[in-house]
Structure 1
Amino acid sequence: MTLSAPLTTLKGVGPRVAERLEKLGLRRVEDLLFHLPYRYQDRTRVVPIGALRPGEEAVVEGEIQADDIKFGKRRSLLCRLGDGSGSLLLRFFHFNASQRAALARGKRLRCYGEVRRGPAMLEMVHPEYHLIDAEAQAPMEAHLTPIYPTTEGMAQKSLRQLIEQALQLLRQGRVADHLPPELLEEYHLPSLRHALLEMHQPAPHTPVAELLEGEHPARQRLALEELLAQHLSLRQLRHKVQQYSAPPLAPPGHLRQRLIDALPFALTGAQTRVMQEIDADLARPHPMQRLVQGDVGSGKTVVAAAAAAQAIEAGYQVAVMAPTELLAEQHRRNFTAWLEPLGLTSAWLSGKSGAKQRRENLALLAEGKAALAVGTHALFQDEVMFDRLGLVIVDEQHRFGVHQRLALREKGSRNGSVPHQLIMTATPIPRTLAMTAYADLDSSVIDELPPGRTPVETVAICDERRDEVVARVHRACVGERRQAYWVCTLIEESEALQCQAAEDTAALLTEALPELRIGLVHGRMKAAEKARVMAGFKAGELQLLVATTVIEVGVDVPNASLMIIENAERLGLAQLHQLRGRVGRGSVSSSCVLMYHKPLSQQGRARLAALRETNDGFEIARRDLALRGPGELLGTRQSGMLRLRVADLERDRDLLPDVARLATALLQRWPQHVAPLIQRWLGDRQRYGDV
């Protein structure tokens, strides 16, 4: 049997069991070795009954001193077990005649279970047990008992038996260690065999907390190898992309200069620096793969427009893709306002475009009459054809899967040449995460806000003080002649319910604040209606905008100085920070009110505290990563890119510098180990780069 063999080659795995294991991501024999326990039970020693404490799990051994069936609301079998140090009640709600006969007075048992406080004495309810010979010494477990993540229909005992078969192959030396001995010695790492055996069957004295929390050398070895495989796969993707050619886009820059000259504001030093980095990439005959990070309001869109001007002046088309209709509309307005005065035509594509408009825009792009395409994911649908696509700009990349981003690149693929890619995000990625998750990209950071911006003051208020918040809105909109947002959220993942909540809130606020002009925006409104309301708010015709979280990104109203977020405890840190970024875009002091509903969970309290303590997007992102993990920041749930089995990017961030060095060493000295290492940890998921 080989480790790459399907699980059906193991004893006890038929089609039905294989289907259940598939739900756990287990397909090959080797996968079982990397399916690690999430906790352990200590069955290596017998605990005297007199020493038991409620809440602990333990092995006890003794003689049944009394047995009885109790009739009440639920029939139960009660057995009193004694060992000389004390007595313990064993309670069984499900039992049959043969079990009753086996658990008779005088029988000797060994039991394992959780100790609970009962009416008369300590109890175990439905413990695991077996009869033992009073004369012979029954052997104890030699190691801690692993408890694995499982699924419906897959019992722990069955899963342990299957993993034991894989461990036998490990003991026979049939598992390759893809980290050469020289590297193991240099980095003081245990062998793969030792690390896996330690994780699956730790000795009784092993510090379990270290195993589970990532501090034990065995777990660190496996985490390091998994992060290494992820890093290598992205470096391979980067190398593969660099094998393509791309059109060098290095025009004189007259078009861009006209764009910059027409702007009503001066560019920051950070914007200028990032533009120069993009220029250098665009001038090369290989595709740019650059991530531009910048906090809300740092001016990423202008940088993207400058890059678009360069590509268009060089004779190519540009595609700008955003994850939501509202953000795409905002880009459409900005790019149109900046580029149409320069004589450029743009096309608009979204899922809600009318058939006639869609046909016209498709024709403009296919014939090369439109220099710019702006839209949602509709841009990468099959019928969309470009004449000469030279640059793809993707905003809020973490909302798209990697497949979607690369699929748009393929729209401009021609004779081995692909477009340049510029990826933007207002969700700053902590450096430790970017090193691993975006190893295929070059990174630029716009780390300077435009002059005159004031930090947003953030407060958290219980929704019992709602009247005070309504009064604050009145004061801001009437007394200070400013504008405000009121964002409605619901815990249910239902757009219909979110919209209903916004409609109800708008009606209540209209009644409470009759002198205010109030608008409503939610995801189920027609695009034209949403655009009309947003335009009214931006023009100052509306004083208060009630909305769902569709306004999270892409709305720029400098006169808006107050943001109210209902049920703020239900949103993630990154989303709260994005919403807060809708205010503070002018020179006037701005406020964000986080309304929460009691009781607050510990995580909810931590999120609201983080928002109150800092306006720094990178610090917010670091805390968000610590609280929620990387999935939300990267959009990896749909991309299949970064589903880590052992490693934790926040917990294991100290390993990342070693990961980069190990990757370089393997590529230079042991390149034959790279492919099998990636295959072990990513399997079919490494194909996300093959679009």
Structure 2
Amino acid sequence: MNNLPTLANIDVTVLKGVGSKLAQVLAKLDIHSVQDLLFHLPLRYLDRTRITAISQLRTNTSVVVQGAVLKTNIVFGKRRSLAVTIEDNSGTTCLRFYHFNASQKNSFEEGRQVRCYGDPRLGSSGLEFYHPEYEFVDSGKTELSEQALTPVYPLTDGLSQSRIRSLTEQAVNLLKDYSPSELLPAEVQQMFGMDTLASALAYLHFPPPEASVEQILAGQHPAQQRLAFEELLAHYLVRQQLREQFQQEHAALIKVHQDKKAALLSTLPFSLTGAQQRVCDEIQRDLSKGVPMLRMVQGDVGSGKTLVAAIAALNVAFSGYQVAIVAPTEILAEQHLNNFKQWLEPLGLRICWLVGKLTAAKRRDALKTIADGEAEIIVGTHALFQEDVDFAKLGLAIIDEQHRFGVDQRLSLRKKSRLGEVPHQLVMTATPIPRTLAMTAYSELDYSVIDELPPGRKPIQTALVSQSRRAHVIERIRVACEKGTQAYWVCPLVEDSETLSAANAEQTWEQLKVALSGFNIAMVHGRLKAAEKEMVMASFKKGESQLLVATTVIEVGVDVPNATLMIIENPERLGLAQLHQLRGRVGRGSEASHCVLLYGDKLSQHAKQRLQVLRESNDGFVIAEKDLEIRGPGELLGTRQTGDMQYRLADAQQHANLIPEVHRIGEHLCVDKELSDKLIQRWIGYNKNYAQV
């Protein structure tokens, strides 16, 4: 038996400077062994090897710029700031300081050469540097002290970049004597031209001076590709294990109740679209297998996902089981409650709901109704995940806007059945997710798409309008409200910000109350308490207010058929997919609807081209693909929730070309449990317990 030490079982305390206290700090990052440290890869790199022309600045990229001081101003706003404008041969940028003194201000003499390092961000004058590191240099001096890219690592309290770089340097030195196991097939190793896994790790922790800066910053170096492939493979394998775990469990056998479905459809003023019927059939095939369904249904705004879910619920309920419908907000839950009551109560099904705002007495009654099986359909929010919620016979859980919930939350409903059977799961989203992203983020789920809108739906007309025509836009709202329809005005921020020139909801609300006196204008934003938000939204839905000034909290789920006009201020601050979601709040009735993108006067050509995508397309999938190209996957998936696994190196956008091959290799490796477990342990390790929910 081979008892030689390996990187995986050499404790991190062998490294110089790591005592029990630092070991506890490292454990917060799931670093327990030297191998864990080596696979704790840089988030990004600092490029201090060259000076970047000001005209080439991009957001989210750390750079060094050098230029002459053009002017210095003290700006008086909500917060006083020192603004230093510098210029090189290609353009100008601003260095902004909120904490400064007279001596510092005076040091920025006009014409003096200053070199600064930092991350440019959008500000009131364009791209600006906030509190950058800087030094004054001799005119014409261009040599830099750094010869290689500097890695930046994920940190936790008690750990600095210099400390983790020092520890990683020791770990890389150990690679000379201990090589990590090569777990990929030889054919994959050859794809990237990297001799060994050890050489790829050493290269990425400390890129040599001759490394291609452009290639590494773009995530396209063979060492990055080699490790990204392995990480994507580990995530694929753990999700397949989760899927296999589900497939080995028992679930309710659900029959089709064609007569009940026909009775429901006969009450509707429209027929199912072909896409809705196809997805209904796919769901029913899953429900009839006796193993737990795990299916995601994607559908653009207005495609009819809720009706598809109701038909699935109908078949489950008439097969003798309960159905839980979980929504991320109380107002969306209430919307589902009303729809399901309208559609299913006439068929004899009983419906109850459970949300946070219920009184203690009503909550007790709801819990008893659920536990005794007196209701077949239970609609609610996160409240349904709580431990004291006990279902008599849960057969199906429907999760709406599933990206608002973590993996562990969705899977916690597995424990809610008393029958020894695992409930089926149907998760829905109105955020179209590009297929590439879905294949990586949700590969344990089967995948259905409702890619057809009901006939007669009028496409929303979208216009790009400059802030200089703001008065014209306000007049347009007046005309719409006088006709008896309603409107939204969306602002990206709640209150003023020195760092962004975006509009704020509170100020806009005050201005519009004056400009549109005589109309009831409501306001809702994320800083209101949940009960206040619900009250404002409910009032708008009832038509008690004509205009709703809001932040992006209205993005999901509010259905107000009488709303026909949407104004989105500073749309350049938002992603295309989010703008499409917001736009989908109108166009839900029979009237023609319009969306006005009220952009700032300093809109760049790039931003105009981006917004043009929205103007030219009402297809959420086309828009989502463009958004993935432009902004990357994080924005599309929303904030990562507890239980969701994050990538260390892989990026669904940068490494999309690897995904088909990852799936091909993964299908072969699934049968090798020992090898799969080693890959999963290496990349996901102590977070794998999410799959045991």
**TM-score by structure 2 length?**
0.79
**Structure 1 pair 354–42 and aligned structure 2 pair: CA distance change class (3 A):** closer
Which one of 335, 352, 355 corresponds to residue 347 of structure 1?
352
Q: CA deviation at 1:359?
A: 1.3
CA distance in 1, matches of 2:65, 2:254: 72
CA distance in 2, matches of 1:41, 1:436: 30
**Structure 1 pair 124–419 and aligned structure 2 pair: CA distance change class (3 A):** same
Please name the residue that 2:539 is paired with. Answer: 533
Q: Does 1:3 align with 2:22?
A: no
CA distance in 1, matches of 2:392, 2:261: 22
Q: CA deviation at 1:408?
A: 2.1
Q: Does 1:638 align with 2:638?
A: no
Q: CA deviation at 1:640?
A: 4.1
Q: CA deviation at 1:503?
A: 6.4
Query: Retained in 2: the 8 A contact 1:521–1:547?
Result: yes
Query: Retained in 1: the 8 A contact 2:541–2:560?
Result: no
Q: Does 1:658 align with 2:658?
A: no
**Structure 1 pair 17–461 and aligned structure 2 pair: CA distance change class (3 A):** farther
Please name the residue that 1:395 is paired with. Answer: 400
**Structure 1 pair 487–357 and aligned structure 2 pair: CA distance change class (3 A):** farther
User: Which structure 2 residue ranges, 5 or more long, are not aligned?
Assistant: 50-63, 68-101, 105-112, 116-132, 498-502
User: Map of 1:74-85 to 2, 5 A cutoff?
Assistant: none
**Structure 1 pair 308–179 and aligned structure 2 pair: CA distance change class (3 A):** same
RMSD: 3.5
Please name the residue that 2:416 is paired with. Answer: 411
Q: CA deviation at 1:336?
A: 1.2
Residue identity opposite 1:682 in structure 2: I
CA distance in 2, matches of 1:594, 1:508: 19
Residue identity opposite 1:584 in structure 2: G
Q: Does 1:386 align with 2:388?
A: no
Please name the residue that 1:444 is paired with. Answer: 448
Residue identity opposite 2:320 in structure 1: G
Instruction: Count matched residues.
Output: 606
Render the CA deviation track for 1:297-333: whole Å, top value 9, x for unaligned.
Answer: 0000000001010001101110000111121111111
Q: Does 1:690 align with 2:692?
A: yes
CA distance in 1, matches of 2:495, 2:632: 21
CA distance in 2, matches of 1:321, 1:546: 27
Residue identity opposite 1:239 in structure 2: E
CA distance in 1, matches of 2:362, 2:334: 15
Q: CA deviation at 1:511?
A: 3.6
Q: Does 1:564 align with 2:583?
A: no
Render the CA deviation track for 1:150-189: whole Å, top value 9, x for unaligned.
Answer: 6587565543432232223322243111113354347866
Render the CA deviation track for 1:41-89: whole Å, top value 9, x for unaligned.
Answer: 799xxxxxxxxx9859xxxxxxxxxxxxxxx969xxxxxxxxxxxxxx9
CA distance in 1, matches of 2:196, 2:217: 19
CA distance in 2, matches of 1:323, 1:381: 14
CA distance in 2, matches of 1:115, 1:552: 41
Q: CA deviation at 1:261?
A: 1.3
Query: Retained in 1: the 8 A contact 2:560–2:586?
Result: yes
Q: Secondary structure at the match of 2:684?
A: helix
CA distance in 1, matches of 2:325, 2:194: 46
Q: Secondary structure at the match of 2:303?
A: coil
Q: CA deviation at 1:116?
A: 6.7
Q: CA deviation at 1:558?
A: 3.2
Query: Retained in 2: the 8 A contact 1:298–1:448?
Result: yes
User: Which structure 1 residue ranges, 5 or more long, are not aligned?
Assistant: 44-52, 57-71, 75-88, 92-113, 129-142, 495-499
Please name the residue that 2:330 is paired with. Answer: 325
Please name the residue that 2:367 is paired with. Answer: 362
Render the CA deviation track for 1:636-680: whole Å, top value 9, x for unaligned.
Answer: 622343411111101110100000011012224x44211010111
Render the CA deviation track for 1:454-488: whole Å, top value 9, x for unaligned.
Answer: 2222233344533221101112232x553322234
Please name the residue that 2:88 is paired with. Answer: none
Q: Secondary structure at the match of 2:201?
A: helix
CA distance in 1, matches of 2:304, 2:15: 58
Query: Retained in 1: the 8 A contact 2:392–2:418?
Result: no
Please name the residue that 1:591 is paired with. Answer: 594
**Structure 1 pair 41–610 and aligned structure 2 pair: CA distance change class (3 A):** closer
CA distance in 1, matches of 2:553, 2:374: 32
**Structure 1 pair 258–13 and aligned structure 2 pair: CA distance change class (3 A):** same
Query: Retained in 2: the 8 A contact 1:247–1:419?
Result: yes
Q: Secondary structure at the match of 2:216?
A: helix
Residue identity opposite 2:542 in structure 1: G
Query: Retained in 2: the 8 A contact 1:190–1:217?
Result: no
Q: Does 1:228 align with 2:233?
A: yes
**Structure 1 pair 550–205 and aligned structure 2 pair: CA distance change class (3 A):** closer
**Structure 1 pair 419–123 and aligned structure 2 pair: CA distance change class (3 A):** closer
Q: Secondary structure at the match of 2:641?
A: helix
CA distance in 2, matches of 1:429, 1:347: 32
Render the CA deviation track for 1:267-298: whole Å, top value 9, x for unaligned.
Answer: 11100110011111111110110100000000
Please name the residue that 1:289 is paired with. Answer: 294
Please name the residue that 2:676 is paired with. Answer: 674
**Structure 1 pair 511–90 and aligned structure 2 pair: CA distance change class (3 A):** closer
Please name the residue that 2:97 is paired with. Answer: none
CA distance in 2, matches of 1:20, 1:630: 30
Moved more, 214-223 or 381-390: 214-223
Q: CA deviation at 1:425?
A: 0.2
Q: Secondary structure at the match of 1:286?
A: coil
Q: CA deviation at 1:519?
A: 4.9
Please name the residue that 1:620 is paired with. Answer: 623
Asked which structure has the greater CA Rg, the reply is 1
Residue identity opposite 1:566 in structure 2: E
Moved more, 16-25 or 636-645: 16-25
Query: Retained in 2: the 8 A contact 1:393–1:422?
Result: yes
Residue identity opposite 2:226 in structure 1: R
**Structure 1 pair 607–29 and aligned structure 2 pair: CA distance change class (3 A):** farther
Moved more, 420-429 or 483-492: 483-492
Moved more, 286-295 or 341-350: 341-350
Q: CA deviation at 1:355?
A: 1.3
Q: CA deviation at 1:570?
A: 3.8
**Structure 1 pair 212–342 and aligned structure 2 pair: CA distance change class (3 A):** same
**Structure 1 pair 420–611 and aligned structure 2 pair: CA distance change class (3 A):** same
Query: Retained in 2: the 8 A contact 1:365–1:373?
Result: yes
Q: Does 1:453 align with 2:457?
A: yes
Moved more, 252-261 or 361-370: 252-261
CA distance in 2, matches of 1:620, 1:528: 30
**Structure 1 pair 270–55 and aligned structure 2 pair: CA distance change class (3 A):** same
CA distance in 2, matches of 1:195, 1:119: 39
Q: CA deviation at 1:585?
A: 2.4
Please name the residue that 1:109 is paired with. Answer: none
Query: Retained in 1: the 8 A contact 2:231–2:683?
Result: yes
Render the CA deviation track for 1:208-241: whole Å, top value 9, x for unaligned.
Answer: 3223323222211111001000111101100011
Equivalent pairs: percent with the same residue? Answer: 51
Query: Retained in 2: the 8 A contact 1:55–1:115?
Result: no
Q: Does 1:118 align with 2:137?
A: yes
**TM-score by structure 1 length?**
0.79
Residue identity opposite 1:118 in structure 2: V
Residue identity opposite 2:348 in structure 1: G
CA distance in 2, matches of 1:385, 1:165: 53
CA distance in 2, matches of 1:282, 1:34: 41
Query: Retained in 2: the 8 A contact 1:398–1:633?
Result: no
Please name the residue that 1:545 is paired with. Answer: 548
Query: Retained in 2: the 8 A contact 1:564–1:595?
Result: yes
Please name the residue that 1:465 is paired with. Answer: 469
**Structure 1 pair 462–13 and aligned structure 2 pair: CA distance change class (3 A):** farther
Residue identity opposite 2:625 in structure 1: R
Which one of 478, 482, 486 corresponds to residue 485 of structure 2?
482
**Structure 1 pair 332–507 and aligned structure 2 pair: CA distance change class (3 A):** farther
Query: Retained in 2: the 8 A contact 1:461–1:594?
Result: yes
**Structure 1 pair 412–190 and aligned structure 2 pair: CA distance change class (3 A):** farther
Residue identity opposite 1:39 in structure 2: Y
Please name the residue that 2:45 is paired with. Answer: 39
User: Map of 1:124-139 to 2, 5 A cutoff?
Assistant: none
